[in-house]
Structure 1
Amino acid sequence: MKKTFLILLLVLAHSSTFFAQKSKTAYDIIVAKDGSGNFTKVQDAFDAVPDNSKRTIIFVKAGIYKEKLKLISSKKNVTLIGESYKNTILTYDDYAEIAGGTSKSFSTLIEADDFYAENITFENTIDSNLPQYKKGGQAVALMVNGDRTIFHNCKISGFQDTFYLKANKRTYIKDCIIDGTTDFIFGSAIALFENCFIQSKRDSYITASNQDVGKNKYGFVFKDCVIMANPKEDATKVSLGRPWGTGANVVFINCFEESHIIPEGWSVWSKDPEHKAFNNWKTTFYAEYNCYGPGYKPNNRIAWSHQLNETKALEYTKEKIFVANTTTANNLEGDWNPTIENDKCKIILPSKKAKNANSVFKKGF
């Protein structure tokens, strides 16, 4: 009996060693500030990825990594995994005035196709409301130019212009927190946000879509999301969006909207007839379907916005949003139906009677 028990212990010991080794080598590259990985900087890990290779998995240990990061287009098929978005933070403090424009102010830029991020915070710490940044306080936390990019269980945090989905390509954002002040989700992308907390820090605009008129069937789509004021900030009058481009395209489906959303819902870009974006609203497509909450007032919405019927709403599936022919502005490579392995995040929507989303946010992912 003792001999059998000893053999069993040896087998278990060997098995645990095997799984420990397997777990340790499951990542191609490990980044750790304490020197226990392959690199101490995330940019060094990005640079080490072979050009046009099969999937490379980078694990980033907990820590605050202050770097201006760029994953160039040849570094395709990169997976970036952190320990948790709460303690694995990629941050920088560049802004438009000193960077040379909004598109150069990024903390992290993803140019490569087929990028996947999980358990990471992408952050820009520049508060555009402070007087020293008035000449150019746009400060991008995360900018995406690649196609077929996925962000899961991440936080994208900043102030003005937080999340720049610049290129007219496809991005899937699932179980994420995105916060900011003015136009903090903006650009030309075909982007689906599912099960996300969208948090306004101040009175301003959430989206600034820059689609070209007549070229895109889909733009920014928010499904089963919580549209809320940041619990630590004071936002009481927030617009769902304003049309940066002539074909701005934004839709909210099955979303909870807090009372900070203005009754008219949406805004024009400029009230100045001399402004080049003055007439953008005329060719904009802004819509909602089956939303609820104290901020959802369909009878008060601006006249040129839409309330979808069920038939129209059924067109907004992941499979249809990401097919290659939904845009004529870019030649996209093949249809895309993104999946997330081990997706265990729970539904975050509050009850129909809820007045705010603070309680579900505290219990969120």
Structure 2
Amino acid sequence: MRRRTLLAGLAAGLTTASTALAAAPALAGTRRPVLHVRPGDSVQAAVDAVDGPGGTIVVHPGIYREVVNVPADKAELTIRGASRHPSDTVIVFDHANGTQKPDGTTYGTAGSATFTSAAPGLTVRDLTLANDWLRADHPDITGTQAVAAYTYGDRTRFENVRLSAHQDTLFVDTTALDTFDRQYFRRCYIEGDVDFVFGRATAVFEQCHFHTLQRDVDFTPKGMVFAPSTARANPYGILAVRSRITSGAEDAAYKLARPWVPTYETTAWPSLVVRDTWIGPGIDPVAPYTNMRDAYPWQSMRFHEYRNAGPGAVISVPENRPQLTTSEAAAHTARAYLGDWRPYELP
């Protein structure tokens, strides 16, 4: 199993050189210091050492078995792998929703995350964020959500990042119910099985690769890629553009999406657009959407597609695959969703 192939853990604390960099004061008008984290160091210790907004943490190749939390006061922070290969640098832990904490309570879905950030302007690139908790190892736990990354905060950017877990891999959230924080994912790889990209943020996925995992279960669907929970007042939810969806499971074993209407926001009106994307045979082409709760049928939600290709994108039952018109599609672009924020020159 994946978890057993990882290193047992890492000692806390930065190296002497890293600590010296962290302690150096930043002069007005000068560049923020760069902190280096190497195997045996702690990524969280580097985050804690960042003094005020800005700064860069370079994480060198290795496996860092820890939970990392970036608070809101670490705005404009960059965390990146030292190499351009995200598989070289792995931050991983194994909490699940139902995992018991020392005080006897459980972590819950959001609390299970290996990586959490509330910081506006965060950039993460060139590394892997993983949760390697496995259902098979914990048959007594029913809360099987195990999040790799839980992100909330406006202008969050992930580039060339691998996100790996099973259920609820990536939670794209907002800082409050009345905010529509923007998140942008470019050239990322995201794998999971149940609702593994979910949440209420305005989230754009461009040139990303979504991969559904094989599951040893005797029922279908085995899972869903997306589960948006967009606020009714937000015109934009989750957008996947120029991406691809592949599967390790048999043909038609997965659904593309189902709507999530949380108990704490029953007015939610989930929004998802998948456009200009290759959809492989793992997605059910006849009925690609399903319900999470019968009280909130997917047909009443804002689910649309546009100019998709591949065996999982075949339109055999048109009413099961709502399509945008060309004029409607013009309002569902990365530029429209991200507004005045330009992480790249976007079309």
Instruction: Give the shorter-chain TM-score range.
Output: 0.7 to 0.9
Counterpart in 2 of 1:192? 204
8 Å CA contact 1:127–1:160 kept in 2: the answer is no
TM-score normalised by length of structure 2: 0.79
Tell me, yes or no, if structure 1 residue 267 matches structure 2 residue 290. yes
Q: Which letter maps to 2:98?
A: E
Counterpart in 2 of 1:347? none
Shift of the alpha carbon at 1:297?
A: 2.0
Shift of the alpha carbon at 1:45?
A: 0.6
Counterpart in 2 of 1:206? 225
8 Å CA contact 2:289–2:298 kept in 1: the answer is no
Q: Which has the higher helix share?
A: 1
Tell me, in whole angstroms, the C-alpha distance in 2 between the residues paired with 1:88 and 1:238.
30
1:283-318 deviation digits (Å, cap 9, x = unpaired): 311111000111112232554x52011111121222
Tell me, yes or no, if structure 1 residue 107 matches structure 2 residue 114. yes
Tell me, yes or no, if structure 1 residue 140 matches structure 2 residue 152. no
1:22-41 deviation digits (Å, cap 9, x = unpaired): xxx9961000115xxxxx11
TM-score normalised by length of structure 1: 0.75
Shift of the alpha carbon at 1:279?
A: 2.5
Secondary structure at the counterpart of residue 309 of structure 2: coil
Shift of the alpha carbon at 1:212?
A: 2.4
Change (3 A) 1:188 1:134: same
Counterpart in 2 of 1:8? none
Counterpart in 2 of 1:49? 50
List runs of 5+ in structure 1 lacking aligned partners. 1-24, 35-39, 272-277, 324-334, 344-365
Tell me, yes or no, if structure 1 residue 159 matches structure 2 residue 169. no
Sequence identity (%): 27
Shift of the alpha carbon at 1:49?
A: 1.0
1:180-207 deviation digits (Å, cap 9, x = unpaired): 0100000101011011110000421111
Change (3 A) 1:314 1:129: farther
Q: Which letter maps to 2:108?
A: G
8 Å CA contact 2:227–2:259 kept in 1: the answer is yes
Alignment match of 2:314 (pick from 297, 300, 306): 297
Counterpart in 2 of 1:174? 186
Alignment match of 2:273 (pick from 225, 235, 251): 251
Tell me, in whole angstroms, the C-alpha distance in 1 between the residues paired with 2:147 and 2:69.
13
8 Å CA contact 2:304–2:324 kept in 1: the answer is yes
Change (3 A) 1:133 1:127: farther
Q: Which letter maps to 1:171?
A: Q
Tell me, in whole angstroms, the C-alpha distance in 2 between the residues paired with 1:234 and 1:71.
38
Q: Where do residues 1-365 of structure 1 align in structure 2 (5 Å cutoff)?
A: 28-33=34-39, 40-51=41-52, 53=53, 55-82=54-81, 83=83, 84-98=85-99, 99-128=106-135, 132=139, 134-167=141-174, 168-202=180-214, 203-213=222-232, 215-230=233-248, 236-245=252-261, 246-262=268-284, 263-271=286-294, 278-303=295-320, 305-323=321-339, 335-339=340-344
Tell me, in whole angstroms, the C-alpha distance in 1 between the residues paired with 2:333 and 2:274.
13
List runs of 5+ in structure 2 lacking aligned partners. 1-30, 100-105, 175-179, 215-221, 262-267
8 Å CA contact 1:128–1:139 kept in 2: the answer is no
8 Å CA contact 1:200–1:235 kept in 2: the answer is no
